Amino acid sequence: MAIVTLENVTYKYPLTETPALQNINLQVEEGEFVAVIGPNGAGKSTLCYTLAGFVPHFFKGELTGRVEVAGMESSESALHEWVLNVGLAFQNPFNQISGAKYTVFEEIAFGLENIGVPREEMKVRVEEAMKLTGISDLADRSPYSLSGGQQQRVALTSILVMQPKVLVLDEPTSQLDPIGTREVFGVIRTMTERGMTVVMAEHKVEWIANFADRVIALYEGQILLDGTPRKVLTSDLLKEKGFGISRYTSVARKAKTLGLWTREQLPITLEEAAEGFALTPHPSPEGRGES
């Protein structure tokens, strides 16, 4: 069953002429993990904000078309009801810390306080959420004393504890180092394994290739491609339009022009690339080390 439905959605920010989103049609099934890729300014963040209800409720502006998420219509629901069903986390971990709380435990409980969860239930839910994201040991630390990766996991936990039906992530790893990125993807994987619907704008295509069920390529506010990671990430269109491309795909594409990649299908992961290159006949011993 589709939990997210966008029909002919076009949106303009206030005081702008060109729409940030144009004629978007999109359905996301329950439990699906959809990655959204696109160059800067393609509308990834706007799409995330639309799913999370901030477009148009927070940013105002002009929205046409139908947005339906978890059974709510954007035109009928207020933002504070919308956020009960859709969780949003974004790039800068630091700005997602509420700033009003003194420990990580309190920080995570902040959302539950706001929506009036009784104290005993609150404690149980916070503890469970922290266990799930692996940050139980940070409970008594100050949210500001943490590393970027830890802060981002606190931000994610703060959203997950509210038990949203859909999780929307706007480049949650773009300001993190490789270790922080791995930690955050670990959390997301746990959530998808538990059946959470996830929509995630992300630049790191190597990670998307390994995790996502489906990839949507946005370009100038429109959906350019929509399909399996294999189909979308290896498309020649991405290269033409200046998208970020997996290094495995790039190398194999180059190798193909030189006759060194023999498969039809280009790889999107390290494993596929290694397998494919193993099939390549090696003309000389020097060529072997590089494959």
Partner 1 sequence: MSLDRSFFVPLESPLHRLNPLTKLTFAFAMIIPAFLSVPRLAPALVIPIFIAVFAGKVQKQYLNLSLKLILPAILFMFVMQSVFLPIGETVIFQLGRFDVTQEAMQTAFLTISRIFVMVSSFAILLLTTHPGELMSDLTRRGLPPQFAYVINSTLQILPQMQAKAQTILSAQRSRGLDTESTFLKRVGAVVPLVGPLVFGSLVEVEERAIAIEARGFTSTRPKTFLRDVPDTRTDKIIRWLLLVFVILSLGGRIWLS
Q: Residue 26: what residue type?
A: L
Among 92, 174, 210, 280, which residue sits at the site for partner 1 (rule: CB under 8 A)?
92
Residues forming beta bridges with residue 29, ordered by sequence position: 2
Quote the tokens at residue 186: 């670990």
Among 119, 131, 239, 247, which residue sits at the site for partner 1 (rule: CB under 8 A)?
119
66 forms part of the interface with partner 1 (CB under 8 A): no
> Please, which of residues 25-64 interact with partner 1 by CB under 8 A?
52, 54, 58
117 forms part of the interface with partner 1 (CB under 8 A): yes
Among 77, 96, 152, 234, which residue sits at the site for partner 1 (rule: CB under 8 A)?
96
Letters for 124-143 (x = contact with partner 1 by CB under 8 A, - = none) are ------------------xx
Query: Considering only 82-90, 193-201, 204-212, 245-253, which stretch makes contact with partner 1 by CB under 8 A?
Result: 82-90
- The Cβ of residue 103 has, within 10 Å, a number of other Cβ atoms equal to 14
Give the 3-state secondary structure of residue 172: coil
175 forms part of the interface with partner 1 (CB under 8 A): no
**Closest approach of partner 1 to the CB of residue 144, in Å:** 6
Q: Edge-to-edge, what's the strand order for the sheet holding 33-37?
A: 86-89, 166-170, 197-201, 33-37, 214-219, 222-227
Output 22 or 136, the one with its CB closest to partner 1.
136
- Of 128, 209, 146, the residue nearest 183 (C-alpha): 146
Output 84 or 132, the one with its CB closest to partner 1.
84
Q: To which residue do tokens 């933002």 refer?
A: 79
Output 158 or 234, the one with its CB closest to partner 1.
158
- Of 175, 172, 223, 205, the residue nearest 47 (C-alpha): 223
Output 16 or 95, the one with its CB closest to partner 1.
95
**Closest approach of partner 1 to the CB of residue 50, in Å:** 13
Q: Check if the beta carbon of residue 85 is closer than 8 Å to that of residue 70.
A: yes
> Residue 60 and residue 74: Cα distance in Å, rounded?
12
179 forms part of the interface with partner 1 (CB under 8 A): no
